[in-house]
Structure 1
């Protein structure tokens, strides 16, 4: 085992922040560093996930640690407590009782007195179940707060392209004129007979920044930029053409997370949405929006001489 790593794993989720400094990454590091030094564990190496739920295993720090375990580089994994490793009792139990032993890795949870090298840890399963219950309970409480906010008519998402937060009221959206002008242009092009693919090509050729590129130019880095950041896509156009928000309305509960364990976003049926009208200044008229929906529903475009352009 000489030369192998002692993996000191730290994790903090948004929920854990409610517990204050006791669960902070800094505090976890201090506890693990001292424990490793006091007990003579060699080559301590930190793996950290900050702001990541314990019910998901899509964590960069955790995956890096597992890669080193699979490469035979790790002798021992140490966490502050069991919940730092994970709050999904089935997966956490599998890791401790099957995966780690398979790679000859010793596991220690300092505050829970768990050490796989010293005992059978009879209470381990119960502690994992409690951690899973805690995650479920926190998720339920957060969803209740989220639903109450949404039912009150407050926005549940950041401002859509064309709007920005008010400088004086963070719950109020105000028109972001440069982006709003592009939104109006997109609706006009649709009414003029152009489809999403054609509109995307026109905007790209005219050098108009995409929503992501525009956000970057305004100092709002959403982390989604890639090679396509400066090229408009048909899906982006279609998404803009379907947003009720541009009529000045708030739309809540359009999506939901599958469960507290499955962090996948799915769309709710439209009859489950809650729409609050006239909550912000509209960028387009209701007439324009309804016309575009009708055109797109029937997958046809008007003859220019047969329909009045509401932008005229």
Structure 2
């Protein structure tokens, strides 16, 4: 029978930190403090102290949703039956969402026979076996959710007050910088402001946005990202001025000296995607800072921009956005004629770039990629037959067998220790011999405990490896099954297996596959 583990869950988010002083509002919410409270509770509970434990820590994640990596890992182990009890400092550490947290406590955990303990809330689900602690738990969860909502409303209200006064509350646009020693005020940036003014003058003079971007790149002018030092380390392509960057500057009303705020908002607390608001809802305060262009220059520059036809957007999920330039790293753009063509936009903004050699027909590109995908599936199918169909030893099962054997030895040593004491009391063993044998037993017991702890650590590692292995086995099986599909079916699903297609010219490309693991090449060169 699988040994159940005790799951210790810890969480800390920005909600618990005083932003002004960067210190905890409640010191007991700190990760270290949570750990001490829980460990003390476990040590004082004989039924919990004997359980092997795993710790899960989400540091820096909000409790208003369940999108937390360690929480999801813990719940996966709960579903696999390896966790028998979860313990937290209080219910808010598990979650502040009233409905979602309540669903786990009232339905999911009882169904899976998982005990849940919230120490500071004096809640232990074992007290409610056969009944429900519904009203008490629900009321506490509702309070925690209302706390987050109230905090969000207060922050939003304070931000709106600053917006109404013409203060910037997010970031300074390119061309401006923070005023030294003054919060929420900005002044012209002596380096970037002349660039913004030059962009407006070029636009008014009739230059196209692509021509302006090319001029800036030829002159080696740093992009807004480079100027502010916000280039991401995971960015595949080098920063470069583009027509979109130029248009964003021309259309930004802030350069006239007006502050424009509240252009978008979060639909829910800590939503990952903001929604755009209608212009009628924007907060605009004129003469908030020094202008870089006049209102007349702003109107003239925007009058030269092409006015696109506004049609109702129908967002479609595209799975074929995997084609990238092998020289600059940018995603290839699409153009249309008798066929769809893929090329690199860098050639519009830089002269004599090798990116100009890329111009593939979408039809020709997919033919090449499809043949490579078939060969890839053949390799995966063969790998599946060789390695996964044949039964292998289960290292996780062997590890658990070893743990049981060590535990049995430990129990046997307790019996030996008792027997030694009885022999000593009966006078069959001298005191020196008793002490010597007892010391040897204690040393052996300590060695076995250390070995048992190592086996438990190995078990945790093997559990993670088994989950990864199962995912790989399933991927290989699906690949093997796909060998019977038609070309059209394979063309539709091949993008799900491709991480990216790196194109160097019209004769050379490289395919990077999503599935890896050492059993086949992660890249295919053509």
- For the criterion TM > 0.5, the same-fold answer is yes
Task: List per-residue Cα deviations over 1:245-301 (Å, max 9, x = no partner).
Answer: 2222211222222133645312221122222222222223322211122222646xx
Q: 1:106 to 1:164 in 2, by over 3 A?
A: farther
Are the structure 2 counterparts of residues 85 and 203 from structure 1 closer, same or farther at C-alpha, using a change threshold of 3 Å? Answer: farther
Higher relative contact order (CA 8 A, sep 6+): 1
Query: What is the CA–CA distance in structure 2 between the aligned matches of 1:97 and 1:186, rounded to whole Å?
Result: 61
Match of 1:172 in 2: 185
Are residues 142 and 170 of structure 1, via their aligned partners in 2, closer, same or farther at CA, if it must alter by over 3 Å? closer
Match of 2:30 among 18, 24, 29: 24
What does residue 304 of structure 1 align with?
A: none
Instruction: Give the distance between the partners of 1:67 and 1:202, measured in 2 at CA.
Output: 54
Query: Helix, strand or coil for the counterpart of 1:22?
Result: helix
CA displacement, residues 227-262 of structure 1 (integer Å, 9 cap, x when unaligned) = 245134444333222212222221122222213364
SS at match of 1:56: coil
Q: Is the 8 A contact 1:162 1:179 kept in 2?
A: yes
In 2, Cα distance between equivalents of 1:75 and 1:204? 61
Paired position in structure 1 for 2:267:
258
1:249 aligns with 2:258: yes
Q: TM-score, normalised by structure 2?
A: 0.50
Report the more deviating stretch, 96-105 or 29-38: 96-105
Structure 2 residue 36 is the aligned partner of structure 1 residue 35? no
Match of 1:121 among 133, 149, 153: 133
Separation (CA, whole Å) in 1 of partners of 2:59 and 2:279: 36
Query: Over aligned residue pairs, what C-alpha RMSD do you find?
Result: 3.1
* Aligned residue in 2 for 1:303: none
Structure 1 match to 2:56: 46
Matches within 5 A, 1:1-312: 2=3, 4=5, 6-14=7-15, 17=18, 19-39=25-45, 40=49, 41-50=51-60, 52-69=61-78, 74-101=83-110, 105-119=114-128, 120-122=132-134, 123-204=136-217, 206-216=219-229, 221=230, 226-228=235-237, 230-260=239-269, 262-296=271-305, 298=307
> TM-score by structure 1 length?
0.79
Report the alpha carbon displacement of residue 90 of structure 1 after superposing the two structures with TM: 1.0
Q: CA deviation at 1:21?
A: 2.0
Report if the CA contact (8 A) 2:257-2:290 is conserved.
yes
Q: How far does the alpha carbon of each residue in 1:43-83 deviate from its partner, in whole angstroms, 9 at most, with x for none?
A: 33131232x43223333443444455456554433221111
Shift of 1:128: 1.4
Instruction: Report the secondary structure of 2:297's partner residue.
Output: helix
Query: Do the aligned partners of 1:49 and 1:59 also contact (CA within 8 Å) in 2?
Result: no
SS of 1:2's partner is coil
Asked if the contact 2:203/2:301 (under 8 Å) is kept, the reply is: yes
- 3-state SS of 1:181 partner: helix
Greater displacement, 83-92 / 141-150: 141-150
Counterpart position of 2:434: none
Consecutive unaligned residues of structure 1, counting only runs of 5 or more, are 300-312
Q: How many residues align?
A: 294
User: Structure 1 96/239 Cα, relative in aligned 2: closer, same or farther at 3 Å?
Assistant: farther
More helix by share: 2
| Residues 6 and 186 of structure 1: CA distance in aligned 2, closer, same or farther (over 3 Å) | same
Given the superposition, is the C-alpha separation of residues 156 and 108 from structure 1 closer, same or farther in structure 2, using an over 3 Å criterion? same
Report the CA distance shift for 1:201/1:86 in structure 2 as closer, same or farther (over 3 A): farther
Alpha-carbon distance change, 62 to 296 in structure 1, aligned in 2, over 3 angstroms: farther
Q: Is the 8 A contact 1:48 1:61 kept in 2?
A: yes
State the shift of 1:206 in Å: 4.8
Query: 1:24-44 CA deviation, whole Å, 9 max, x = no partner?
Result: 333223323333444315233
Distance 1:71 1:234 in 2: 52
In 1, distance between residues paired with 2:194 and 2:81? Answer: 57
Larger radius of gyration: 2
Aligned partners of 2:58 and 2:71 also within 8 Å? yes
Structure 2: where are the runs of 5+ without partners? 19-23, 309-526
